[in-house]
Amino acid sequence: MNSLGNRIRTLRLEKKLSQEQLAEACEISVISLRHFEKSRRIPNVTLLVRFCNVLEVSPEYLLQDSLTLNTTSDDKNEIISFINKLTPQQAGYMKDWCKITEKHLVNGNITP
């Protein structure tokens, strides 16, 4: 299974970006990026969108095979707050991601 961290690293290398360049573009430290690339951490929604924008991919591409749905009420409030700040393009990515996630839930490919 290809993890989220592996996808981030692979895309970074394909775009010929150093860890320093990607970290700066995503407004995180190089150490944090290393943790994400090694799948030691999972990015929050804000950072996920930053990765998608810089790496020019959709959220569903980055998240395929690594979705876990353990959403608390606080998580839902954070997501709603974040959605209200999205650009139209970012909102489109998130809408597509939600549709794909719903499809996988209905088909039993993801267990909540």
The pTM assigned to this predicted structure is 0.59
Residue 110 has pLDDT above 60, yes or no: no
Integer Cα distance of 39 and 86 in angstroms: 26
Distance from first CA to last CA of the chain, Å, rounded? 19
The yes-or-no verdict on residue 105 having pLDDT over 80 is: no
- Residue 42 CA to residue 86 CA, distance in Å, equals 20
**Model confidence at 20: pLDDT above 90:** yes
Amino acid 32 reads S
CATH number of 4-107: 1.10.260.40
Name the residue ranges covered by the structural domains of the chain: 4-107
d(C-alpha 39, C-alpha 42), whole Å:
7
The string of pLDDT tens digits covering residues 47-93 is: 999 999 999 998 878 887 655 545 566 776 777 777 778 888 888 88
Q: What whole-number distance in Å separates Cα of residue 39 and Cα of residue 97?
A: 20
Of 20, 44, 45, nearest to 34 by C-alpha is 20
Q: What is the mean pLDDT of residues 29-42?
A: 92
* Number of CB atoms found within 10 A of residue 18's CB: 12
